[in-house]
Amino acid sequence: MFPNVQAYDRGVMFSPDGRLFQVDYAKEAVRRGATSIGMITEEGVVLVAHKNIVEPLVIPNTVQKIFKVDSFIGVTYSGLVSDGLHIVNVIRERTQTHRMVYDETESVETVAREISEEMQIVTQYGGLRPYAVALLIGGVDTTKRLYEVDPGASFSGYKADAIGSGKKVAEEALVKEYKESMKMGEAINLGVGIIKKIDQGRLSPDNIDISTITKEKGYVQLTSKEISSYL
C-alpha cells in the first residue's frame, strides 16, 4: 500500500502502481450509463440505444442517444450526457470541415481516431478531467465499420459491441446470437431483445433509439412507428 494515495486522486497523474484514478472514475460513470449496442450486418450497420428516462415529466423526443454526424456515419454514447453531446458536436464539426475541404465523407476509422485524440488530450493535463463517456461509431465507407472509443481514449474495431450498464449482459448475448450474415431486421430484433432483457421488458418507442447506416440510403433514424414494429 502506498502512503497518501489520495494525492493521485486530485488530478490526472499516475499513481505509483500505474493507475490514472480519474480515468477509472470516468469508466465507472460509463458503466452506470444507459446501454447502447452496435452491430455490423450483411446490409450495413445497426445502432440501438436505450434512453433511460426516469423523470415522468420529461418530453421523450428531447432526449436523444443516437446522432447523425455525416451522411454515412452515426454515433451513440453511454455515460455523462453533457460530455456525450459535446463530443458529438466535435465530431460533427470535424466531419463537416473534411467534407468542405475534400468533398467526401470522412472514413469511419478516421472519425474514431479523431475522437480518441480529443479524449486523450484531457488525460495529460492538470486542471482537466477525462470525458466520462464511451462511444460507438458506426458507418459505411469502403466497407461496413464499427468502433468503440472508451474514456481512456483507446479505440478498437468490432463486429458487434455494447457500452453502458448492460455491457456484460449484452456482450454475452452477442457472442451467442450475433452472426455477420444477419439481415438488418434480425439485428434490430436482437438489439431490442437484449435491451428488453437488461431493462426487464419496459420498452416503448419513447425510450429507445434505433438507426441504420447502409451504402444505399446512408444514415436513417427509425420513426416511432417503425420502432413499434420491433417491440
Q: Note whether residue 231 is domain-resident.
A: no
Q: Note whether residue 219 is domain-resident.
A: yes
Q: Note whether residue 230 is domain-resident.
A: no
> How distant, in Å, are the alpha carbons of 26, 76, 90, 132, 135 from that of 151?
6, 14, 16, 6, 9
Q: Note whether residue 186 is domain-resident.
A: yes
Q: Note whether residue 158 is domain-resident.
A: yes
Q: Note whether residue 2 is domain-resident.
A: no
CATH code for position 113: 3.60.20.10
Owning domain of residue 30: 18-225
CA dist 119 and 124 (Å) reads 10
Tens digit of pLDDT at every position of the chain (231 positions): 445 555 556 666 666 776 777 788 888 889 998 999 999 999 999 999 998 877 778 888 888 999 999 999 999 999 999 999 999 999 999 999 998 998 888 999 999 999 999 998 888 776 778 899 999 999 999 999 999 999 988 899 999 999 999 999 999 999 999 999 999 999 999 999 999 988 766 788 888 999 999 999 999 999 999 999 998
Residue with cell 478531467: 129
Phi/psi at 108 (nearest 5 deg)? Answer: -65, -40
The burial of 206, by beta-carbon neighbours within 10 Å (0-12 exposed, 13-18 middle, 19 or more buried), is given as middle
Domains identified in the chain, total number: 1
What per-residue confidence (pLDDT) applies to 22? 79
The burial of 62, by beta-carbon neighbours within 10 Å (0-12 exposed, 13-18 middle, 19 or more buried), is given as exposed
Query: Of 220, 217, 222, which Cα lies nearest the Cα of 192?
Result: 222
Q: Note whether residue 168 is domain-resident.
A: yes
Rg (CA), the chain: 18
Q: Note whether residue 164 is domain-resident.
A: yes
Assess contact for 163 and 27: CB atoms under 8 A.
no
Assess contact for 35 and 49: CB atoms under 8 A.
yes
